[in-house]
Amino acid sequence: MSKDTGHKVSIKIMDKEYLIGCPEGTEAELFASADYLDKKMREIRDSGKVLGLERVAVMTALNLSHELMIQKGAQRDQIEARIQKLGDKIDNSMANLAKKHPDNL
C-alpha cells in the first residue's frame, strides 16, 4: 500500500479486528489481501505445530516471503531465457546478413 492513507478500513484477521489506512479505490485489494492472510494464518494454526498468534503471524510471514522469493526466481529465470533467445535471434540475423552482404559489415 502507498503512504497515502486515504481513509480507515476495518479488516478481520484471525478473529481480531484491525483498522487500516487505505488509499481510496484500493479497498478490494486490501480485503483480498486480508482474506488471503487470514486463510494462510489459519492453515498454520490448524496444523497444530505453531501456538500463539504472534508465532503464527511470523511463520505465515516467513512462508509468504519464501513463496514470493521462489516466484521472483522463476520469473527471473524466464526473463533470462527470453533475453538469451532474443540474443540468439540477433546473432543469427547478423550472421545471415553478413553472409548476404559481407562488404557492408
CA-based R_g, the chain, Å: 24
- Say if 1 falls within a structural domain: no
Per DSSP bridges, beta strands 16-22 and 7-13 are: antiparallel
- Say if 51 falls within a structural domain: yes
Burial class (CB in 10 A: 0-12, 13-18, 19+), 19: exposed
Q: Which domain holds residue 78?
A: 7-104
The CATH number linked to 27 is 3.30.160.880
- Say if 2 falls within a structural domain: no
- Say if 62 falls within a structural domain: yes
State the average pLDDT over residues 13-39. 95
- Say if 68 falls within a structural domain: yes
- Say if 26 falls within a structural domain: yes
- Say how many domains are in the chain: 1
| Predicted TM-score of the model (pTM) | 0.68
CA distance 89 to 83: 10
Q: By mean pLDDT, which of 2-6, 9-13, 53-57, 80-84 is the weakest?
A: 2-6
CA distance 5 to 67: 27
The per-residue pLDDT for range 48-102, each reduced to its tens digit, is: 888 899 999 999 999 999 999 999 999 999 999 999 999 999 999 999 888 888 7
